[in-house]
């Protein structure tokens, strides 16, 4: 079956702009989580969506937001981009997510560069 699909793979934006990233989970998976990966901070949890509801949120400013649609696809939005937002953004899907002991599968990521 198809894996987790993230689009676009690469993105270059200017400071102050906004950006929307997309994640299509594995068919049947209802949980989608988003992570930011940078060389300095490693992998940091942004938020998790389950059944169109944000179930958990990491420690990121309100400029980072997301949503999940009825088909479990998720989008992440970053407004007023800053240079420090340059990172690899990864999404992970799992059947139930959270503390359900189901395995998390990651997409290839979206490489965002802010100039």
Partner 1 sequence: KQEVTQIPAALSVPEGENLVLNCSFTDSAIYNLQWFRQDPGKGLTSLLLIQSSQREQTSGRLNASLDKSSGRSTLYIAASQPGDSATYLCAVMSNNNDMRFGAGTRLTVKP
| Binder of partner 1 out of 16, 38, 43, 82 (CB under 8 A) | 43
Residue 3 or 16: the one with the smaller Cβ distance to partner 1 is 3
Tell which phi-psi region holds residue 16, choosing left (phi > 0), alpha (psi between -120 and 50) or beta.
Answer: left
Cα dihedral 105/28/25/47 (nearest 10): -80
d(CA 6, CA 24): 6
Count the site residues for partner 1 by CB under 8 A.
Answer: 26
| Binder of partner 1 out of 66, 107, 112, 114 (CB under 8 A) | 107
My answer on whether omega of the bond before 51 falls inside 30° of 0, hence cis, is no
Residue 17 or 113: the one with the smaller Cβ distance to partner 1 is 113
Q: Which residues in this chain contact partner 1 in the complex, by CB under 8 A?
A: 4, 6, 33, 35, 42-43, 45, 48, 55-56, 58, 88, 90, 92, 97-99, 101, 103-109, 111
């Amino acid at each position: 079956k198809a894996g987790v699909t993230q689009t676009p793979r690469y993105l270059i934006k200017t400071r102050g702009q906004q950006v929307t990233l997309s994640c299509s989970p594995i068919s049947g998976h209802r949980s989608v989580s988003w992570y930011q990966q940078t060389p300095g901070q490693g992998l940091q949890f942004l938020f998790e969506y389950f059944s169109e509801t944000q179930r958990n949120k990491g420690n990121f400013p309100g400029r980072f937001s997301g949503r999940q649609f009825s088909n479990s696809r998720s989008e992440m939005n970053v407004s007023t981009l800053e240079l420090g937002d340059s990172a690899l953004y990864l999404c992970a899907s799992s059947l139930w997510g959270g503390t359900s002991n189901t395995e998390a599968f990651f997409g290839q990521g979206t490489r965002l560069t802010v100039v």
